[in-house]
Amino acid sequence: MTYQGTPHERGANRITGSEWIERYQGALMNTFGPPQRVLVRGEGAYVWDVDGNRYLDLLGGIAVNTLGHAHPAILDAVTTQLGTLGHVSNFFTSTPQVELAEKLLQLVGAEGRVFFTSSGTEATEAAFKATRRTGRTTIVVAEGSFHGRTMGALALTSKEAYRTPFEPLPGDVRWVPYGDTAALEAAVDDTVAAVLLEPIQGEAGVIVPPDDYLPAARRITTEHGALLWIDEVQTGIGRTGDWFAHHLSGVTPDLVTVAKGLGGGIPIGAFIALGDAGSLLQPGNHGTTFGGNPVATAAALAVIATIEDDHLLENARAVGDRIRADLADHSLVADTTGRGLLIGIVLTRPVSADVQKAALEAGLIINNPTPDRLRLAPPLILTAYQADDAVKTLRMLLDEAEAGVPGRGRQEGSRAEGGES
Ligand SMILES: Cc1ncc(COP(=O)(O)O)c(C=O)c1O
């Protein structure tokens, strides 16, 4: 029998968004707070909720949905691979696993070795363990950093509210202000195993360091025999208009961690170790059941091929620059930050939560990482037309926030035809 959709999709037993959220709260752990909407469908840069409302997705699952929603290339890669070989243990390999490792090394632009994971925090864990194999234990990390939530990754994540309930965390972490070369110079000595930096801090609100920061970090780590570890979990795989955000600075790191956008929505991460660092982890040092799964690696190959074929790096640069330029002169905007389609909007007043809520009501999904910053990380397929439409709505919402009346009116045409999903 052909699949006819869920009862909701068939129009039977229709359950509203608020009823689903009530059920969510009865069945799921309260780690994220109540969900904002119950999403049932996506296509391109749009998603629909269970109540039939359409949203332009300017967050892309927080920098994950590289190709938007329901992209045929991912669909085809995943279904073909699943119909051929869905999973093997790490006693074996599969052809997409090998191809993806080779492709990632080619994109990073250096020789090395790859360890696959299923998430960003696992990529951090793998790299953290690798640094211990240097015989040194100290890691220098930037204030404002976010590297994940497992115990090891949390030790390298700066936010006190995340850390304090779980202390003691793995130790020997030295904190430095982000973007401050002199502080880095003072913190790194011959006992340091690695310096870990995001090339643009994402969770902190899309903070871009000075141009000479990563080159300085490379010089300082080399001088002291320490590893330079760049966390590209949020910034990698084309998000900033380059394959990796550190490429613009011209440095070659020792360790690179990626996840989020790599699978375009299929869970996959990778720890890439370049040069000699590729042999830090040896048999028995680390492992995973799901990392490097054939379906996930096939999805990632499809994401990368589509970025190449559809010139999405160029699109990310052009559309990102357009959005930043078109918002920069609003009187509530102090600055626009980021590169490509990782965009920060710094407000002159701490009203980002109000603007985010009003945007959702108006049919735009955006994020407010700090009280005075908004973050956009839309699919790399976002068109100039969609960007212009979003900017028009955002400017209206910023006007309203400035006048103290955020949240009036839903975007024209943002309800799906017929009002049902
Ligand atoms: C820079 C960075 N590193 C690591 C992580 C953790 O990734 P995940 O949520 O997949 O565990 C994130 C997630 O937001 C991130 O932004």
Enter the tokens of residue 5.
Answer: 């959709």
Is 7's pLDDT higher than 70?
A: no
Residues 373-390: what's their mean pLDDT? 98
Are the CB atoms for 197 and 142 separated by under 8 Å?
yes
**Calpha distance 41→242 (Å, rounded):** 29
Q: What is the pLDDT of residues 234-280, one digit of tens each?
A: 999 999 999 999 999 999 999 999 999 999 999 999 999 999 999 99
Are the CB atoms for 287 and 115 separated by under 8 Å?
no
Span from the CA of 162 to the centroid of ligand 1 (angstroms): 13
Is 382's pLDDT higher than 90?
A: yes
The predicted pLDDT at position 194 comes to 98
Is 217's pLDDT higher than 50?
A: yes
Of 53, 42, 113, which is closest to residue 281 (Cα–Cα)?
A: 113
**Calpha distance 81→96 (Å, rounded):** 9
Is 164's pLDDT higher than 60?
A: yes
Choose which residue among 122, 128, 146 to substitute to test ligand 1 binding: the one with the highest number of ligand atoms within 8 A of its C-beta.
Answer: 146
Name the band, by pLDDT with cuts 50, 70 and 90, for residue 171.
Answer: confident
Residue 170 or residue 9, greater confidence:
170
Q: Which own/partner contact pairs does 274-280 have at CB distance under 8 Å and 24+ positions apart?
A: 274/108, 274/110, 274/111, 274/112, 275/110, 275/111, 275/112, 277/112, 277/130, 277/227, 278/111, 278/112, 278/113, 279/113, 280/130, 280/131, 280/133, 280/134
Place of tokens 């389609």: 341
Is 6's pLDDT higher than 70?
A: no
Ligand 1 in contact with 144 (CB < 6 A)? Answer: no
Residue 370 or residue 5, greater confidence:
370
pTM for the full predicted model:
0.94
Is 185's pLDDT higher than 60?
A: yes
**Calpha distance 318→420 (Å, rounded):** 34
The predicted pLDDT at position 259 comes to 98
The predicted pLDDT at position 14 comes to 83
Cβ-based burial of 113 (10 A; exposed 0-12, middle 13-18, buried ≥19): middle
Is 297's pLDDT higher than 90?
A: yes
Are the CB atoms for 386 and 358 separated by under 8 Å?
no
Q: Whose CA is nearest to atom 3 of ligand 1?
A: 147
Handedness of CA 288, 292, 293, 299 (dihedral sign): positive
Name the band, by pLDDT with cuts 50, 70 and 90, for residue 55.
Answer: very high
Residues 316-339: what's their mean pLDDT? 98
Name the band, by pLDDT with cuts 50, 70 and 90, for residue 2.
Answer: low
Name the band, by pLDDT with cuts 50, 70 and 90, for residue 409.
Answer: very low
Enter the tokens of residue 156.
Answer: 């390298």
The predicted pLDDT at position 125 comes to 98
Residue 206 or residue 14, greater confidence:
206
Residue 13 or residue 144, greater confidence:
144
Ligand 1 in contact with 340 (CB < 6 A)? Answer: no
Rg, C-alpha atoms of the chain: 22
Q: What percent of the chain has pLDDT over 90?
A: 92
Mean pLDDT of the chain: 94
Q: What is the pLDDT of residues 352-361, one digit of tens each?
A: 999 999 999 9
Is 415's pLDDT higher than 80?
A: no
Residues 190-215: what's their mean pLDDT? 98
Ligand 1 atom nearest to CA at 235? 1
Is 173's pLDDT higher than 80?
A: yes
Span from the CA of 269 to the centroid of ligand 1 (angstroms): 10
Ligand 1 in contact with 378 (CB < 6 A)? Answer: no
